[in-house]
Amino acid sequence: KQEVTQIPAALSVPEGENLVLNCSFTDSAIYNLQWFRQDPGKGLTSLLLIQSSQREQTSGRLNASLDKSSGRSTLYIAASQPGDSATYLCAVRENSGYSTLTFGKGTMLLVSP
């Protein structure tokens, strides 16, 4: 059974810092990996989607990398801002007959002014 782990569970940084969130998964046979953002009391917003054949994806100040063979992904946030404060979730879609996602429990990020 696929398991997804996110480290750290919580992170607090001052504004302007660059930071890295980590995601690991136990079964490397994935179809793709998706990073989401969730604000308190809100739904999930997709940030980046990386296909299994890709190494990284970038969107603005966000960069996500994927090392499928080692079962790891990182989300890099450059020049963090208070508005980046949220919970970040990593999810993998496996190579199976149906496309469900397995989620990590998330990293709660707080960026202080």
C-alpha 33/C-alpha 72 separation (Å) is 10
Q: How far is the CB of 14 from another protein (least distance, A)?
A: 27
Tell me if 74 contacts another protein by CB under 8 A. Answer: no
Tell me if 104 contacts another protein by CB under 8 A. Answer: yes
Tell me if 101 contacts another protein by CB under 8 A. Answer: yes
For the segment 13-32, give every residue that binds another protein (CB under 8 A): 31-32
Q: How far is the CB of 103 from another protein (least distance, A)?
A: 4
Tell me if 43 contacts another protein by CB under 8 A. Answer: yes
User: Which of 39, 44, 40, 91 lies closest to 66, judged by CA?
Assistant: 91
Enumerate binding residues for another protein (CB under 8 A). Answer: 31-32, 34, 36, 41-46, 49, 51, 89, 91, 93, 98-101, 103-106
